[in-house]
Amino acid sequence: MEAPVRTHRIAVIPGDGIGVEVTAEALRVVDAAASAYDFAVEWTAFDWSCERYTATGQMMPDDGLDQLRPHDAILLGAVGYPGVPDHISLWGLLIPIRRAFEQYVNLRPVRLLPGVASPLAGRAAEDLAMIVVRENSEGEYSRIGGRQGVGDDELAIQSAVFTRRGVERVVRYAFELARSRGLPVCSATKSNGIVFSMPFWDEIFSEVAVEYPDVPSELCHADALAARMVLAPDRLGVIVASNLFGDLLSDLSAAVVGGLGIAPAANLNPERTHPSMFEAVHGSAPDIAGKGIANPVAQILTAAMMLDHLGETAAAAGIERAVDAALADLSGRTPDLGGSATTVRCTDAVIAALASAP
Ligand code: NAD
Ligand code: IPM
Ligand code: MN
């Protein structure tokens, strides 16, 4: 047999909790797709995690970013576990990678998958497809601020950082995406309550919108938008939002199509000057970790987004179809989707569907 023509070098950081469980399953699916679609993947695993922090005092080594840099992409499970404060674990691993590699777009698409019931009554697949484009490198997530004082005088100040370059590039990405898909763009704002950064965000959004007269666009206060995601999701397409608003709205968009167990995501460096990183919307889910019941679908679809990014578009589409086929049958669904399949059984169903109809 001839050697596969394309080899992708992927760094894998399983991380913590169910991140470890679902990443192992995503690797199995990608390996199956590699043989079906004739490409090769070279996996390099990194044990960077809260467990490592507890043992060494560091989430990743000093040269961690240098170790990741030569890879074509990074597949990450989830970071964070009880015992290590979240702001230590996340700012020690996930957030530095997003920033150092200028992964300024966090792309979070959702759609209603066959066989999955939306918690919204009377809503079908045609009503429920939206893409959150979350700013991923600045905004409300910053290390600027401080704490001082004691007792009643104690205070904390946390600054948000919005740069013209940072806002403009993510808004432009959202418009390009909307144009390519024939969708409208809605920008999540809060310029009624937040007096500097959000009017600035709105101004830049409106300036960019002028360049896309063919793309319907609107500004929507984030609180009203949250309600609209539940009450009128059919009128939404691409949603562009700041780091924090995008974080909140993407858990909500996942919930309206059946939950965090099926929502994929990509941290993209659109210019491809650095590797992009692929990790599902969900976290390490300590409440179900170790039980073998985590839904692997979110991470499998995340891996499909990674393959798409690497140019393996046929394999990515094949995995999406295989997930649809696996979930259409109750025996392939994990408990969060009303089934009783284990993580491994659900993945087996996806791999079987991939093998029968690649
Ligand atoms: P979470 O997403 O881990 O869990 C929220 C709820 O959703 C839990 O009830 C969980 O059981 C359920 N859930 C999530 N993924 C699921 C899956 N695949 N299958 C079935 N059920 C699933 O959010 P959390 O509890 O707020 O956070 C737990 C930890 O993960 C924290 O340390 C948090 O900071 C971290 N976190 C990390 C990431 C990341 O690394 N990308 C993302 C979110 C949260
Ligand atoms: C996510 C997570 C992270 C974020 C946390 C864990 C820092 O919630 O990827 O959605 O808010 O970016
Ligand atoms: Mn989140």
What lines the ligand 2 site, CB under 6 Å? 80, 90, 247, 281, 283
- Residue 3 pLDDT greater than 90, yes or no: no
**What is the value of pTM for the model shown?**
0.98
Ligand 1 in reach of 300 Cβ (< 6 A): no
Ligand 3 centre distance from Cα of residue 168 (Å): 22
Which of 141, 248, 282 maximizes ligand 1 atoms within 8 Å of its Cβ, making it the mutation to test the pocket?
A: 282
User: How many angstroms separate the first and last alpha carbons of the chain?
Assistant: 19
Q: What are phi and psi of 284, to 5 degrees?
A: -85, -5
pLDDT, tens digit (0-9, with 9 covering 90-100), for 253-278: 999 999 999 999 999 999 999 999 99
Q: Which residues, 6 or more positions from 85, have their beta carbon under 8 angstroms from its beta carbon?
A: none
Rounded CA-CA distance 173/168 in Å is 9
Q: Tens digits of per-residue pLDDT, 93-133?
A: 999 999 999 999 999 999 999 999 999 999 999 999 999 99
Specify the residue with its C-alpha closest to ligand 2, atom 11: 247
SS3 (DSSP) at 340: coil
Residue 357's pLDDT band, with cuts at 50, 70 and 90, is confident
- The residue whose CA has the least distance to atom 44 of ligand 1 is 283
Domains of the chain by range and CATH? 1-112+260-358 (3.40.718.10), 118-257 (3.40.718.10)
Span 162-193, pLDDT tens digits:
999 999 999 999 999 999 999 999 999 999 99
Rounded Cα–Cα distance for residues 32 and 348 (Å): 11
Distance 215 CA to ligand 1 centre (A): 34
